[in-house]
Amino acid sequence: MIKQELKELGILATNLGSSTGQNWFATGADITSSSPVDGQVIATVTCSSHNDYKDICVQAKKAYAIWRLVPAPQRGEVIRLFGDKLRSLKPTLGKLVSYEMGKSLQEGMGEVQEMIDICDFAVGLSRQLYGSTIHSERPSHRMYDQYHPLGVVGVISAFNFPVAVWAWNTALALVCGDVVIWKPSEKTPLCAIACQQILADILKQKELPEGISNLIIGEKTVGEWLVNDTNIPLISATGSTAMGKTVAQHVAARLGRSILELGGNNAIIITPDADLKMTTIGAVFGAVGTAGQRCTSTRRLIIHESVYEQVKASLIKAYAQLQIGDPLLPENHVGPLIDQKAVAHYLDALSEIEKQGGKLIVTGGLLTGKGFESGCYVKPAIAEVENHYDIVQQETFAPILYLIKYQGDVMEAIAIQNDVKQGLSSAIMTNNLREAELFLSAQGSDCGIANINIGTSGAEIGGAFGGEKETGGGRESGSDAWKAYMRRQTNTINYSTELPLAQGITFNL
């Protein structure tokens, strides 16, 4: 059902490798890409061998020597063309994202739109890579700082956003003068091949080296090559906290840099002053969107006892109306989990909730029968729990929503929200100005993202995206996140006829 889309994206073969003329090195073992939508194999993909990786690194290094000298506004023009191409291919690429990953078609289109948005942001940034002028303590001296390209950037992305997160990193890195080697999730290789093909066509059109954008496909070992390579000064990695800890240790051991976007355990606080209609919309979308497989998915609702029963009843009613099935059909709200391993984790979590004392009020479970043959469809579940339960403290990448009651003021709710190891996204639903301001203050949310009267999901490109604690501390996308992809240099110019030394030191010759 996806053959026409693959053809439109320049992916012409069912067995994809270097022999097909695609823009990556691939002479290793084969893997298959299967859709969680219907369980069908989409294509067989040839992975990159270690020798392929070495060749890619040589190609990237040569390309960097050229690309870093291209003026930043001209680099921005390449990204502008890439964004324009994405606009024309949005329906096609969006459908591939939906089919290969399993998110709704609307979400697949939205992910491609995020790519377009970051391209727009990066084009503007290409004329705004500002440094600062600094007043020197020495007469007739001028000081300033400036930013230079960093080098070859390694990007490791996850299956849940198979194209957008790469684009967040790549659009900024390329505008900054870096080149990129991308290791996508082995669960969504076709989305990566499509993106590589689109950008490679733009580079060819501008007569630029293809090594500016590079792709390596494979499993864990391929990522390890990137992480341990001393020639790659920056690794941007998205995935689980366990994976991020390993990446951080290895990159730090060689004094490299890392941008880590890891697990979330995101909560919405619901106070007595909340608009409960808005609350239901935000909570349901946050909990079941992408079948709960977003790092910003809503995992916990921390609800004041005075509105607890009302919120619970509203959620149960809303969950009864959810349509589960083929995500390419617009009437369905919830698609499949990525694979049957994810289903097993989901089922284990449901079992643990009851073992640890929780109560399932929307029971969930595996869906079988017509339309669910892939074995990847599950029912979104809701459970009443305590925040200290081990299962609640973990991130389960599935549509399970925990309800937690609080009795006191908003500071009690904030303490409950912060009492997890992760610190990505957070939100409060309230029309009370004092509660809102407390939530955003230094004694409020300890997360990288804190929202008022919107949910935990749906970050905008213009803001820096990332979190604290076991979420990794990295920042991608907007604001000044671009600085992570560059090296900072402080410059001092002496335009006098003397050489005064700092701190009043004299040294006469």
174 and 192 belong to one structural domain: yes
Asked whether residue 75 is domain-assigned, the answer is yes
Q: Any idea what the CATH number is for the domain that residue 211 is in?
A: 3.40.605.10
251 and 391 assigned to the same domain? no
What's the DSSP call for residue 476?
Answer: E
Q: Which residues pair with 426 in a beta bridge?
A: 267, 450
Question: Bridge partners of 289?
Answer: none
**9 and 56 co-located in one domain:** yes
Verify that 427 and 286 share a domain, yes or no. yes
Q: Confirm whether 500 is domain-assigned.
A: no
Confirm whether 495 is domain-assigned. Answer: no
- Let me know whether 50 and 107 are in one domain: yes
Beta partners for residue 494, in sequence order: 141
- CA distances 222 to 21, 151, 217, 378, 498, Å, are 21, 20, 7, 31, 55
Same domain, 201 and 349: no
| Domain-located, residue 302 | yes
Helix (H) or strand (E) run with residue 327 in it = none
Q: Are residues 273 and 345 in the same domain?
A: yes
Which residues does residue 451 pair with via DSSP β-bridges, in sequence order? 427
* Same structural domain, 250 and 345: no
Q: Are residues 199 and 112 in the same domain?
A: yes
Domain that holds residue 271: 266-462
pLDDT of amino acid 25: 65
Residue 441 tokens read as 């203050």
CB contact at 8 A, 366 and 343: yes
Beta bridge partners of 235: 154, 258
E strand spans, 241-348: 257-261, 266-270, 298-304
Please report whether residue 502 resides in a domain: no
The answer to whether residues 220 and 322 belong to one domain is no
CA dist 321 and 278 (Å) reads 17
| Catalytic one of 100, 111, 261, 470 | 261
Active site residue 261: yes
Residue 21, class by beta-carbon neighbours within 10 Å (0-12 exposed, 13-18 middle, 19+ buried)?
exposed
What pLDDT score does 208 carry?
A: 98
Looking at residue 59, its pLDDT comes to 95
Please check whether residue 178 lies inside any domain of the structure. yes
pLDDT (tens place) for every residue of the chain, 509 residues total: 677 888 888 775 444 444 333 455 678 889 999 999 999 999 999 999 999 999 999 999 999 999 999 999 999 999 999 999 999 999 999 999 999 999 999 999 999 999 999 999 999 999 999 999 999 988 999 999 999 999 999 999 999 999 999 999 999 999 999 999 999 999 999 999 999 999 999 999 999 999 999 999 999 999 999 999 999 999 999 999 999 999 999 999 999 999 999 999 999 999 999 999 999 999 999 999 999 999 999 999 999 999 999 999 999 999 999 999 999 999 999 999 999 999 999 999 999 999 999 999 999 999 999 999 999 999 999 999 999 999 999 999 999 999 999 999 999 999 999 999 999 999 999 999 999 999 999 999 999 999 999 999 988 999 999 999 999 999 999 999 999 999 999 999 999 999 887 677 777 76
Domain count across the chain? 2
Considering the domain architecture, whether residues 80 and 210 belong to the same structural domain is answered as yes
Distance (Å, whole) CA 274 – CA 276: 6
- CA distance linking residue 289 with residue 403, whole number of Å: 18
Q: Distance (Å, rounded) from C-alpha 271 to C-alpha 65? A: 56
Burial class, 75, CB count within 10 angstroms (exposed 0-12 / middle 13-18 / buried 19+): buried
- Domain membership of residue 509 (yes or no) is no
User: Pairing state of beta strands 400-406 and 298-304?
Assistant: parallel
Q: Confirm if 263 and 240 have CB atoms less than 8 A apart.
A: yes
In this predicted structure, what is the pLDDT of residue 22? 46
The dihedral of CA 258, 231, 480, 261: what is its sign?
negative
CB 210 within 8 A of CB 200: yes
Nearest to 427 by CA among 400, 401, 454: 454
In terms of domains, do 345 and 434 share one?
Answer: yes
CATH number for the domain harbouring residue 305: 3.40.309.10
Structure tokens at 63: 């390309």
User: What does the alpha-carbon distance between residue 439 and residue 434 come to, in Å, rounded to a whole number?
Assistant: 9
493 membership: H or E segment, kind and range: strand 486-494
Place of tokens 């097909």: 20
Helix%, strand%, coil% for the chain, nearest 5: 40, 20, 40
Sheet containing strand 41-46, strands side by side: 15-16, 41-46, 30-34
Q: Residue 296 domain-assigned?
A: yes
